[in-house]
A and B are shown apart, each in its own frame.
Chain A
């Protein structure tokens, strides 16, 4: 019997890796996290930022050409009038889901392991939403008139079509971006004050002081702060679901086989969380190694994120399966053709790769050994990143390219400028992220401190296992 004397019954609990590595005090937490921001940047940071910034230049080059010459430089044509722009929009907006999910839903569910990853996951959300927002904007063709999407009184008698989910997107995405930004900023305020107090340079002192909005850490401040944070979490939770639901409506309210499926809303939301967690893992594993943050982003975090990846991956697989079964069960010729065309048609390779990345690869996460190995987990996450892009490619392109009339069938592929724009946004995303980790604490300092004291008795308790 493991329940030996001197240790309470809780000693019989199965052992779990701790949320914070043993031996940390509130002071060491602050030192280690602020050091990333306040010390000199390592050389690799300059190299990585430089490469990302070069890709931002590529993005600007592609956008300039687009504005001069129009969307003809892309591969879009009839029948495939929705190509890379929509695929990339949905891909990025999906990635932008994990941050708010981790921050809001896991906060409300009292999952304290979220503390080490919520800050940079929220930042990642903002950057992903920024990248996503570029695509619909440039896809309208004349982006300088994009404000016509908003309902405002004007002399042209213009009014948005409120039955169109594309208009709902405008509201859903802008609301989501606003609340995510607020949530992120409110969470940063106490840490800005810490940086203000620790900064050496004059400019840094003033800048962090300005951003900390006069935070002094009084009991009233904390009280108001906690209330505001909880309220924002409550507000953000339905938004996580609403954005991707509206995105799924973009497709599902139409009549096109492959788009018109009632399973789309929950299956898109699960796909978004799946993609978002894959990206969090993709970023967290190299960052914790580079900055020596393994004490804060521990094996426990990797395991939990691996489990969420597996669960959402299974929901996505369920979506694929139900889609195929219902296409057969419907008895509808066009539905059946759409599925057969995916499986055997000209885009068969993409479909098979999609299954490999999104259905087969995540099954490795059933094994604890894979979930706790940073290298293997990173590889699975990379498969998912690719797979979720392919999923949107398959949904958008294979449904459009062969619709009801064989006389109007055609093929689609991205041009150089399609790829340049897409890779350019990846550069933008990474560049913003590198700036973020240099200028702001990527792990919430004050929230980490709240779990450190609890950690001390726990370390003794976990030891006998």
Chain B
């Protein structure tokens, strides 16, 4: 057992063959979605860009959250992370594609962001922020964030591949040395990205906790997604004999922790702004507490926090892969609702205004993204075959 596995010949952790079918479905859905989006763009370009931003942020959240969880795993270790490291790595390698999918947002900047419109010139407060909120700086920053995140994703994936080939034990230290500053830089850039892509939809509003809300949400998206993928893989060769209830117990605990952190951040921000009751801050919440948005807010409290929280307290549920994946799907859906709730009230439509394009953009971007993700997942063994801690992780039950 001590000799490193040779990658070329028998790979004991080869991805299951029906992933290929899944990838084809992804492409098909993506094509249908993109076609629908194109029609929508022609019919109602305003609505298209609004829907597109939410959908893009949703899928970006899974990829970026995966990067954060991957770095967290490198720093803290543990069997839970080794079992899904390849899933996380595959998700992070989609970041360059998401950078290309950022382009339509630049095209629709005026439709999406009030500060990018000509009227903004007469708004004194927006003018004060013009050094930050202007099209050129917005574009440059956007690509800068995406480039840095992609860079970290590729360095970690590359080191992981080298570990498969050379079994060099020193690589663990190097991955840690990349992950530590990587995690700090991810959080910092995500904070500014949250200002650019969501907070500035209402350019008068500000909240210093918003960045944390944004990246905690991404971590939760990624955890829910990795649970769904892990459960899918655990029903197929070769992972069916390797995943144990203990692994799912750990994922469940982590998801529970993130659900609680999300609620903690959301509640803190609400309480502080509500009790300060300052006109420049509270307007954002007033928009979300009237008319139909009031019910969406309640929906978030009940299904983004309360229900998953209560369900995930159960030890039996966390150890039951199928049930856990159902909670994960609920959480993933609520992640989209949360992003929709953050963005849509600021677009100034009347009422709830759910549009078929909201679905079409999620399916269009999602189909393409998912197909790319599955392609990445298929390209490597499902476990880091030469990680020195792998045997310990597999023996864990």
Q: Which residues of A contact B (CB under 8 A)?
A: 1-5, 7-14, 163, 241, 245, 249, 252-255, 260-266, 314, 318, 321-323, 326, 329-332, 366
Contact = CB atoms under 8 A, between A and B. Distances in A.
Contacts of B391: 8-10
Nearest to B132: A329
Contact of B209 (A3, A13, A249, A263): A263
Interface of B: 1-4, 125, 128-129, 132, 167, 169-170, 172-173, 180, 184, 187-188, 191, 195, 204, 206-212, 264-265, 268-269, 271-273, 275-276, 278, 280, 388-389, 391-392
A9 B388 contact: yes
A314 B125 contact: no
A3 B265 contact: no
Contacts of A266: 209, 212, 264-265, 268
Contact of B208 (A4, A241, A263): A263
Contact of A12 (B169, B208, B211): B169
Contacts of A314: 184
Contacts of A255: 276, 278
15 contacts: A4-B2, A8-B391, A9-B391, A12-B167, A13-B172, A262-B269, A262-B272, A265-B209, A265-B264, A265-B272, A318-B187, A318-B188, A322-B211, A323-B208, A326-B207
A244 B269 CA distance: 15
A253 B271 contact: yes
Nearest to B206: A330
Nearest to A326: B208
Contacts of B125: 331
A7 B206 CA distance: 58
A245 B272 CA distance: 11
Contacts of A318: 187-188, 191
A10 B272 contact: no
B348 to A, nearest CB: 20
Contacts of A323: 208
B259 to A, nearest CB: 13
A326 B206 contact: yes
Contacts of B268: 245, 262, 264-266
Contact of A329 (B4, B129, B169, B276): B129
Contact of A10 (B167, B180, B209, B392): B392
Contacts of A260: 272, 276, 278
Contact of A14 (B167, B173, B184): B173
Contacts of A245: 264, 268
A262 B173 contact: no
Given A14-B173, A253-B272, 8 more contacts: A8-B391, A14-B169, A260-B272, A262-B273, A318-B188, A330-B280, A331-B129, A366-B180
B188 A331 contact: no
B211 to A, nearest CB: 7
Contacts of B191: 318, 322
Nearest to B133: A329
